[in-house]
């Protein structure tokens, strides 16, 4: 990676929906160069995915999950429902879940599913009240 790649990444982190043409103008290279560099960064794993964060109303939660010792983490994770971010962490808990749903009822239903998975020993839920950038 060189300074141009770094500059492309910085701009994408601020606005992941920017067009290749606009990005090329900002970095002062051709649109094809931007496209090729982004493809290479995706292939090498530097860029894992593009995401969109919205400000629409809904409910959000951060959930700490403790797994039973001796359980195969990969097998347990295969049982988790889709539609949440799962982070494996070190410390007092094994996983951190980031969940966004339309309302608290949907979050609670999802948590009931998580708690019923064999290998999940306990959870601790934190409802997000406000997000600051």
**Closest to 8 in 3D by CA, of 22, 23, 30, 25:** 23
Q: What CATH number is attached to the domain comprising 31?
A: 1.10.10.10
Is 93 in the same domain as 123?
A: yes
pLDDT in tens, 68-110: 988 788 999 999 998 899 999 999 999 999 999 988 999 999 9
Residue 55: which pLDDT band, with cuts at 50, 70 and 90?
low
Domain-located, residue 35: yes
CB 133 within 8 A of CB 85: no
Q: Into how many domains does the chain fold?
A: 2
Domain-located, residue 50: no
The DSSP element (H or E) to which 106 belongs, if any, is helix 104-115
Is 112 in the same domain as 74?
A: yes
Is 77 in the same domain as 122?
A: yes
Domain hosting residue 102, numbered range: 59-127
pLDDT in tens, 3-41: 999 999 888 888 878 888 999 999 999 999 999 999 998
What count of residues does the chain have?
133
Q: What CATH number is attached to the domain comprising 85?
A: 3.30.70.920
């Amino acid at each position: 990676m060189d300074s141009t790649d770094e500059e492309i990444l910085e701009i994408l982190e601020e606005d992941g929906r920017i067009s290749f043409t606009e990005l090329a103008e900002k970095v002062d290279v051709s649109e094809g160069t931007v496209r090729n560099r982004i493809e290479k960064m995706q292939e090498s794993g530097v860029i894992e995915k593009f995401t969109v964060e919205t400000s629409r109303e809904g409910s959000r939660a951060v959930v700490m999950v403790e797994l039973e010792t001796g359980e195969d983490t990969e097998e347990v994770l295969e049982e988790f429902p889709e539609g949440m971010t799962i982070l494996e962490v070190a410390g007092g808990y094994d996983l951190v879940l980031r969940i966004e749903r339309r309302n608290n009822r949907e979050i609670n239903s999802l948590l009931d599913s998580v708690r019923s998975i064999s290998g999940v020993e306990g959870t601790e839920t934190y409802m997000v009240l406000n997000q600051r950038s």
